[in-house]
Amino acid sequence: MRCLLIITLLFIQSADYFVYSRRLLFGRPIDKHGFLGLPRTTLKQSEIESIAKEQWFEQKLDHFDPTNLLTWKQRYFINDDMFNRSNTNSPIFLQLGGEGEASAVWLKEGQIATNYGPHYQALQILLEHRYYGQSRPTQDMSTENLKYLTSEQALQDAANFIEFINEKYGLNKHKWIVFGGSYSGSLAAWFRMKYPHLVAGAIASSAPVQAVLDFEDYLKVVDESLGKKCVREIKSATDDLTELIKSKNNWPVIEKKFKLCTPFNGTNSLDVSNFFGNLAGNFEGVVQYNKDNRAFEGGSSITIDDLCSVMTDLNSNINSTDRLAKVNQILLKSQSQECLEFKYDDYVKKMLVVDFDKTEVPSARQWVYQTCTEFGFYQTSDRNDQPFGHYFPLDFFIKQCIDIYGSEFNKNFLEKSIQFTNNFYGGYNLTVSNVMFINGLIDPWHALGILEDLNPTAKALVMKKTAHCADMYPDSSEDPSELKSTRNVIKQMIGKFIQ
Ligand SMILES: *[C@@H]1O[C@H](CO)[C@@H](O)[C@H](O)[C@H]1NC(C)=O
Ligand SMILES: *[C@@H]1O[C@H](CO)[C@@H](O)[C@H](O)[C@H]1NC(C)=O
Ligand SMILES: *[C@@H]1O[C@H](CO)[C@@H](O)[C@H](O)[C@H]1NC(C)=O
Ligand SMILES: *[C@@H]1O[C@H](CO)[C@@H](O)[C@H](O)[C@H]1NC(C)=O
């Protein structure tokens, strides 16, 4: 699992800590999409393998077509170190994989493995989500084959899997709890809603439960987290840049200042959109993961304060545009990137690769497909009062759906898909019991989450100063007290669920 999540979407910077793939669009982790990436850990590969060996489960390709008998192999990991099999009060903790490769590190590090798991002597299992990592239902990711990539199929995968494990290990008397962060947090809540007979409860961290095509409020939360002064300087830089790009004499200057990989041409509006999107992405990524101890996961330790102290440093003799360029350089350096990629066509070309093993952007084609068919979540520049310019409106994102998957993925299609998703799960109005929703107000995704108790057993925990999925990471000496107490409440709540 990952608090992958999720997130922000589209797109792309590297999450892979061995190969730094270049940032293609919006400076987002390739494997992260704003959610969590592959865990960075000090453990060696052999140590990770010794946490839990990968295992495979024969899974149905299409749960909703009884006549389709095709199957594929879904990957999972089990850690039974703490499990007390002879005590039927010992629960089973199922971490649901999200939109990226699953890693057994989550069965050894992170809150579930180090805190809740040992406390309850739980059997810990991690199930990889179909189409991500090594769980490959079809030969490739052609648009035709991706039709089996839906959250509903993934939920039914988990239901099948639970029955299989109960039978295989004779665990019928033990209670299950599902966990997830970001997209997989939504899956956890939805799983409890649809299959209450299979799990006693769900812990949903930073879960965006409401699908939305134009997630313009994402930048609203980013602004609030950055603060007025910082936002003012960003706006001033954006305004200046907007003037600069009008004259082609300035293009080579922009190329140099922002360390672009290829020459800048201000008449190519898609590249310009992507360029400004990348500059916004520099701030978005840092806000989303501000101080959340994600060094554990390969994230950078750059904080909002680091970036905003550069932007608001009026004593330095450089103007706001140059300060924005400096922020960009800090981010490039932290990601070991030589230069900033911003060519739209290059991005689309990479996204068109359907071979699981040949793609340079693991998980990206799959997750963007899910945004184009189920969730939207596009972090557009459509809000009036945000400082990043209006270069990446909704149509820019819809164009990506069309260019990558085909002309039928147009605006009308997307609107209907999102309507379906909210109708199917209930959006903000989902009706569940025994679910704990956890959000941090610095995290822009909280805008799509559950922030108030739905009923006495479906509760919301809101932290004022934490970022995306902060509750899921290992303890750190810098953890604020609200985070510590949240983890305690979660721990107690699990106890109530399995009583
Ligand atoms: C496991 O559970 C059994 C039955 O409740 C109990 O007697 C035993 O002490 C437990 N073992 C551990 C290691 O806690
Ligand atoms: C900011 O300063 C740089 C020189 O350091 C200059 O090239 C650029 O034109 C300035 N931008 C504005 C908007 O004044
Ligand atoms: C910029 O792109 C336009 C249209 O694609 C082209 O005509 C023009 O020559 C380019 N300018 C430069 C300086 O590359
Ligand atoms: C949730 O309920 C509110 C108020 O009843 C309603 O306005 C909204 O459309 C509902 N949302 C969904 C996704 O059904």
- CATH number, domain of 321, equals 1.20.120.980
Tell me the pLDDT of the chain (499 aa) as tens digits: 345 433 333 333 222 222 223 344 444 443 333 334 455 567 777 787 788 889 999 999 999 999 999 999 999 999 999 999 999 999 999 999 999 999 888 899 889 999 999 999 999 999 999 999 999 999 999 999 999 999 999 999 999 999 999 999 999 999 999 999 999 999 999 999 999 999 999 999 999 999 999 999 999 988 998 999 999 999 999 999 999 999 999 999 999 999 999 999 999 999 999 999 999 999 988 887 777 766 665 556 788 899 999 999 988 789 999 999 999 999 998 888 899 999 999 999 999 999 999 998 889 999 999 999 999 999 999 999 999 999 999 999 999 999 999 999 999 999 999 999 999 999 999 999 999 999 999 888 999 999 999 999 999 999 998 888 889 988 888 899 999 999 999 999 999 999 9
Task: Examine the domain organization and report whether 51 and 174 are in the same domain.
Answer: yes
- How is residue 152 written in tokens? 């509903």
Q: For residues 404 and 65, what is the distance between their CA atoms, to the nearest angstrom?
A: 27
Catalytic residue among 443, 446, 471, 479: 443
Q: For residues 495 and 175, what is the distance between their CA atoms, to the nearest angstrom?
A: 11
Residue 109 inside a domain? The answer is yes
CA atoms within 13 A on the CB side of 75: 20
Please state the domain count of the chain: 2
Q: For residues 499 and 482, what is the distance between their CA atoms, to the nearest angstrom?
A: 26
Q: Kindly state the DSSP code that residue 275 receives in the 8-state scheme.
A: H
Residue 25 inside a domain? The answer is no
Task: Examine the domain organization and report whether 204 and 249 are in the same domain.
Answer: no
Strands 176-181 and 92-96: parallel
Q: For residues 206 and 107, what is the distance between their CA atoms, to the nearest angstrom?
A: 20
**CA 423 to ligand 4 centroid distance, Å:** 10
Mutation to probe ligand 2, out of 240, 321, 323 (largest number of atoms < 8 A from CB):
321
Pick from 430, 448, 359, 425: which is nearest to 9 by CA? 448
Residue 422 inside a domain? The answer is no
Q: For residues 436 and 490, what is the distance between their CA atoms, to the nearest angstrom?
A: 7
**CA 207 to ligand 4 centroid distance, Å:** 18
Task: Examine the domain organization and report whether 385 and 345 are in the same domain.
Answer: yes
Interior/surface letters 41-68, b for 16+ CB within 10 angstroms, e for the rest: bebeeeebeebbeeeebebbbbbeeeee
Is the distance from CB of 304 to CB of 226 less than 8 angstroms?
yes
Q: Which atom belonging to ligand 3 lies closest to the Cα atom of 248?
A: 13
Residues contacting ligand 3 via CB (< 6 Å)? 248, 265, 267-268
Strands 176-181 and 435-440: unpaired
Q: For residues 446 and 34, what is the distance between their CA atoms, to the nearest angstrom?
A: 13
Task: Examine the domain organization and report whether 289 and 307 are in the same domain.
Answer: yes
Is 86 near ligand 1, meaning CB less than 6 Å away? Answer: yes
**CA 121 to ligand 1 centroid distance, Å:** 9
Q: Give the CATH number of the domain where residue 184 resides.
A: 3.40.50.1820
Q: For residues 367 and 411, what is the distance between their CA atoms, to the nearest angstrom?
A: 18
The answer to whether residue 182 is catalytic is yes
Q: Which atom belonging to ligand 2 lies closest to the Cα atom of 243?
A: 13
The protein residue whose alpha carbon is closest to atom 4 in ligand 1 is 87
Q: Express the helix, strand and coil content of the chain in percent, nearest 5 each.
A: 45, 10, 45
* Domain span holding position 234: 217-364+379-408
The answer to whether residue 453 is catalytic is no
Residue 8 inside a domain? The answer is no
Task: Examine the domain organization and report whether 459 and 353 are in the same domain.
Answer: no
**CA 246 to ligand 2 centroid distance, Å:** 14
Residue 306 inside a domain? The answer is yes
Measure the CA dihedral 13/384/377/402, to 10°: -80
Task: Examine the domain organization and report whether 56 and 186 are in the same domain.
Answer: yes
Task: Examine the domain organization and report whether 281 and 321 are in the same domain.
Answer: yes
Residue 89 inside a domain? The answer is yes
Task: Examine the domain organization and report whether 206 and 239 are in the same domain.
Answer: no
Q: For residues 356 and 374, what is the distance between their CA atoms, to the nearest angstrom?
A: 21
Residue 418 inside a domain? The answer is no
Task: Examine the domain organization and report whether 313 and 208 are in the same domain.
Answer: no
Under 8 Å CB-to-CB from 231, ≥6 apart: which residues?
A: 223, 386, 387
Residue type at position 330 = I
* Nearest ligand, CA 270: 3
Task: Examine the domain organization and report whether 472 and 392 are in the same domain.
Answer: no
Task: Examine the domain organization and report whether 223 and 357 are in the same domain.
Answer: yes
Cα angle, residue 272 at apex, residues 266 and 277 outer, rounded to 5°: 155
Task: Examine the domain organization and report whether 489 and 475 are in the same domain.
Answer: yes
Residue 230 inside a domain? The answer is yes
Pick from 112, 46, 16, 41: which is nearest to 336 by CA? 16
Residues facing residue 29 across a β-bridge: none
Is the distance from CB of 179 to CB of 203 less than 8 angstroms?
yes
